[in-house]
Amino acid sequence: MIEQSASGGTSSSTSSSSDSSGKLSLPTVSINGATGSELDTALGTVVRFTHGAVSYTVLGSVAPYAADQAARALAP
């Protein structure tokens, strides 16, 4: 898990494969009311979300369900 101060920027909450600027976006996931991004690969899962003034990144060689549960345990 990586924890850091959240910046003033916001991320897109769309679940499309690209946004209007041509950048790729990841599928979204809800973590205790916060919208986050999730990347699921054959090697593992990464979940990134911001709750309050803190940005969290949860990653591991685990299934998406396990990464989501770990992320939910971090945010009140």
Domain locations in the chain as residue ranges: 2-6+24-74
- Residue whose C-alpha is closest to residue 50's, from 27, 74, 20: 74
Phi-psi sector, 30: left (phi>0), alpha (psi -120 to 50), beta: beta
**Which DSSP state fits 71?**
H
String of DSSP letters for 18-30: B-TTS-B-PPEEE
Measured distance CA(7)–CA(27) in Å, rounded: 21
pLDDT at site 72: 95
How far is CA 60 from its chain centroid? Answer: 13
- pLDDT tens, the chain, 76 aa long: 677 777 755 444 334 455 667 777 899 999 999 999 999 999 999 999 998 889 999 999 999 999 999 999 998 7
pTM, two decimal places:
0.72
